[in-house]
A = this chain, B = another copy of it.
């Protein structure tokens, strides 16, 4: 695998630098290798796309490649191979490229496996990303946005002013900042007491103890030693009415709940989400909808190379090439490539007749499929901004809707679209089994527990996606059998057929994984071609 993070340090280089320095010097060497220390360090080579000169200088000819699936992986394969002049053709079964990278806009129509048809009736400018919706800074997805000229903006993945709603703890929505302040306040109180009482003297020096106590006072806004380090609230919680003019020092919120109640309500579980290496802010989104990425890739690949409504019927690896039969507009057609990249979901590829061997089919069938769903709720006013002063972010709930996402863009516009649920697994399957009107009704009923009548009254339109019910996708993502022989088998080509997708990465369900899997296959295929 080529290194792809912007820090440009390969694993080998990294390990060598740490190994050479060792001990106390290791961290310094590491930071130097990361380019974070002031010492200049030549970056290790990043992914090198195939180039036209790889052929013009060697007299070799670029090859024909048939790509199965026009999701992010397939598009990225064709895009990167196209840089060297490979003659790529993408076969995409759906009416548009992008795969799960889908943005619903006014007029978007979708008929699911159950025959339910939805057609979005949104205002111009309103959009809904039912699939990927956020990008971490370290993800290669951002490099493609830069390279392809797709503008990005902050995606609000956490917001102190969004809410936490735990029905089990008594239907009391509180601000995320309040919930967090109470958790941290009690944590600080407990640790300060234990530290000060000498309970941790085996682990801490006197100096450590003073430093930790000083930290805890600021971290948890707790009282001092004379006060038993008690947590009784503080302005980290926010205010009922914030400070203003003259002598208006603000109106505090009511007292915090007791320590027992705070931990019983389990609000702490939401806190750790914000530390996830893949979820910590800042996160990003393309301006105007996630499908700006496949749209830009499609333009770069060339629309003539993408055959839409083209359902693959069979794949046969022959001595002279890979023959792919597909059905398009009621006709059966075929195409032959020197190579083929299968960039379909594994459980769908497993169903397509092929001559790649039973072990390949078995391996493809060893990826359990995960269900997930979202609903987009368009509102004719942005009541969450105007009435509640929630400008983006996520309200966490213990309801079956799990989360409510507020939009991260077009603040103060007339309308806006909320994600009314984003659930995974059982919750997703439950919503997925409902009709779209039933899903809407349920989502509104649940959300209104938090947001009241406006949640229903201001609704302008909606659209829901149950990924496991979507044609030619049939799942949100998979749970790859990492470490298995089956997984490893698919990392190698079966004859002249390569497999690629986020499902062949360690970042499944992220476009990052799809892009890197594509790069990996592109590098391997190109290496094979130029070294022959």
Interface residues of A, Cβ cutoff 8 Å to B? 1, 3-11, 14-15, 18, 26-31, 33-40, 43, 137-139, 142, 145-146, 151-154, 156, 158-161, 163, 170-174, 177, 180-181, 183-184, 187, 190-191, 193-195, 197, 199-200, 203-205, 207-208, 211-212, 215, 218-219, 235-251, 253-255, 257, 259-260, 263-264, 266, 268-269, 271-272, 275-277, 280-282, 284, 385-393, 408, 411-412, 448-453, 482-483, 488, 491, 504-507, 512-513, 516-517, 519-520
Are B1's CB and A254's CB within 8 A? Answer: no
Are A387's CB and B264's CB within 8 A? Answer: no
Report which of B163, B219, B248, B281 forms a contact with A160, defined as CB distance below 8 A: B281
* Most interface-central of A1, A219, A257, A275 (chain B CB within 10 A): A275
List 30 A–B pairs whose Cβ atoms lie within 8 Å, in order of A's numbering: A1-B248, A6-B387, A10-B241, A18-B254, A26-B254, A27-B172, A30-B240, A30-B254, A35-B388, A138-B239, A145-B412, A156-B282, A159-B282, A181-B275, A187-B212, A190-B191, A194-B200, A203-B259, A211-B266, A219-B268, A219-B275, A244-B512, A245-B513, A245-B520, A246-B505, A246-B506, A246-B517, A246-B520, A281-B281, A282-B391
Are A184's CB and B275's CB within 8 A? Answer: yes
Are B146's CB and A241's CB within 8 A? Answer: no
User: Looking across the interface, which residue of chain B has its beta carbon closest to that of A27?
Assistant: B254
Are B159's CB and A389's CB within 8 A? Answer: no
Are B281's CB and A158's CB within 8 A? Answer: yes
Report which of B4, B271, B411 forms a contact with A284, defined as CB distance below 8 A: B411
> Do A1 and B246 contact each other (CB < 8 Å), given the known contacts A154-B392, A277-B235?
yes
User: Looking across the interface, which residue of chain B has its beta carbon closest to that of A260?
Assistant: B208
Are A275's CB and B244's CB within 8 A? Answer: no
User: Looking across the interface, which residue of chain B has its beta carbon closest to that of A35?
Assistant: B387
Which B residues are CB-close (under 8 A) to A282? 156, 159-161, 391-393
User: Looking across the interface, which residue of chain B has its beta carbon closest to that of A21?
Assistant: B254
Given contacts A194-B200, A246-B491, could you give 15 more A-B pairs where the C-beta distance is less than 8 Å? A1-B245, A7-B389, A9-B241, A27-B255, A187-B212, A190-B203, A193-B200, A208-B259, A219-B271, A236-B276, A236-B280, A237-B277, A245-B516, A248-B505, A249-B506
Are A190's CB and B184's CB within 8 A? Answer: no
Are A280's CB and B241's CB within 8 A? Answer: no
> Do A240 and B14 contact each other (CB < 8 Å), given the known contacts A205-B260, A208-B259?
yes
> Do A36 and B197 contact each other (CB < 8 Å), given the known contacts A6-B389, A520-B245?
no
User: Looking across the interface, which residue of chain B has its beta carbon closest to that of A39?
Assistant: B452
Report which of B35, B173, B254, B257 forms a contact with A37, defined as CB distance below 8 A: B173
Are B275's CB and A177's CB within 8 A? Answer: yes
